[in-house]
């Protein structure tokens, strides 16, 4: 199979996380703003790989998280209100009624703890999809790797805080029987906390422990080209021009 090993994938994600955590704030804001409508999550779990590798500090992570979250929120609300809302996309009676029913089903019907638990599962699957895509080398493999976990997350009706930034506010926009404050407390907060645990703990921390500590703490080998192309070029592309190409073991030493 033409794919990176788990150790190599963790190294690549760590490099991406380092780059994202040190991105210029204006670029980080607009990157997150544009990612909102595309259901981006600001690559939050990448930053935890990077932190565990000691490539960025808590301050870098905190700034990056806050900018990513509110950038995602601003982008999603712009898409919801201006493009869909005032654009009249859901102006027909059936669409309007369904938007309201869906928002109620997301924010009113389930209990707080149920949204929290479903959010753990949601970002667990989303971050698994990103990990699998990062381990793939070709575009077709990346698309296939992303498809299955995301399809599972959507099919099960799990809660992702960024996705809900469209699904719930569009219901409020169309007359759902609750307000912004209720949405923040009942939907946004439990989904955010659950997503953080699902992606950060069950993917970021667990995979770091499995593949980058103890006997697994070796410098991933990107020097040997595979049958299609060199791995070094792929690592460079993922890390970007400012990526740190020192292996984990070398950094730890």
Domains, the chain: 6-212 (1.20.1080.10)
Phi and psi at 3, nearest 5°, equal -150, 160
pLDDT (mean) for 81-99:
89
Range from 14-23, 67-76, 155-164, 211-220 carrying the lowest mean pLDDT:
211-220
Rounded Cα distance between 223 and 227, Å, is 13
Q: Looking at residue 40, what is its pLDDT?
A: 35
pLDDT band at 239 (very low <50, low <70, confident <90, very high): very low
- Residue in this structure with the two tokens 């703490």, named with its chain if needed: 217
pLDDT at 178: 97
Least confident of 38-42, 55-59, 70-74, 204-208: 38-42
175-182 own/partner pairs: CB under 8 Å, 24+ apart: 175/96, 175/100, 176/99, 176/100, 176/103, 176/104, 176/107, 177/104, 177/108, 178/104, 178/107, 178/108, 182/107
pTM to 2 decimals? 0.75
N residues, the chain: 253
Helix (H, G, I), strand (E, B) or coil at 136: strand
Bigger pLDDT: 13 vs 160: 160
C-alpha–C-alpha distance, residues 59 and 62, integer Å: 5
pLDDT at 248: 42
pLDDT at 148: 92
- Going by pLDDT thresholds of 50, 70 and 90, the confidence category of residue 227 is very low
- Comparing C-alpha atoms, which of 240, 234, 210, 209 is closest to residue 221? 234
Range name among 65-69, 109-113, 189-193 with the lowest pLDDT average: 65-69
User: Residue 170 — left, alpha, or beta (φ > 0 → left; ψ -120 to 50 → alpha)?
Assistant: alpha
Is 149:128 a contact under the CB 8 Å cutoff? Answer: yes
Alpha helices in 156-205 (DSSP H): 161-173, 180-183, 189-199
Q: Determine the pLDDT at residue 175.
A: 94
Highest mean pLDDT, choosing among 208-212, 225-229, 230-234, 243-247: 208-212
Residue 13 token pair: 């994600």
CB contact set of 248 (below 8 Å; sequence gap of 6+): 10, 11, 14, 53, 212, 217, 218, 219, 220
């Amino acid at each position: 199979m033409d794919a990176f090993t788990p150790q190599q994938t963790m190294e690549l994600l760590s490099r991406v996380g380092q780059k994202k955590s040190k991105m210029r704030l204006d670029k980080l804001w607009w990157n997150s703003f544009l990612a909102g409508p595309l259901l981006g999550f600001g690559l939050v779990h990448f930053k935890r790989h990077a932190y565990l590798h000691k490539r960025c500090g808590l301050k870098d992570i905190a700034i990056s998280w806050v900018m990513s979250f509110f950038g995602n929120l601003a982008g999603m609300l712009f898409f919801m209100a201006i493009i869909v809302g005032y654009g009249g996309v859901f102006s027909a009676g059936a669409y309007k009624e369904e938007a309201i029913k869906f928002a109620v089903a997301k924010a009113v019907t389930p209990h707080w703890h149920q949204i929290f638990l479903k959010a753990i599962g949601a970002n667990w699957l989303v971050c698994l999809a990103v990990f699998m895509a990062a381990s793939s080398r070709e575009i077709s493999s990346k698309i296939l790797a992303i498809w299955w976990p995301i399809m599972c997350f959507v099919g099960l009706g799990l809660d992702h805080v960024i996705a809900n930034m469209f699904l719930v506010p569009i219901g409020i926009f169309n007359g759902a029987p609750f307000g912004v404050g209720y949405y923040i407390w009942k939907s946004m907060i439990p989904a955010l906390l659950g997503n953080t645990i699902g992606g950060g703990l069950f993917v970021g921390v667990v995979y770091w422990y499995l593949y980058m500590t103890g006997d697994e703490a070796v410098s991933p080998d990107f020097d040997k080209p595979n049958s299609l192309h060199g791995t070094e070029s792929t690592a460079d592309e993922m890390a970007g021009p400012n990526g740190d190409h020192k292996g984990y073991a070398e950094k730890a030493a």
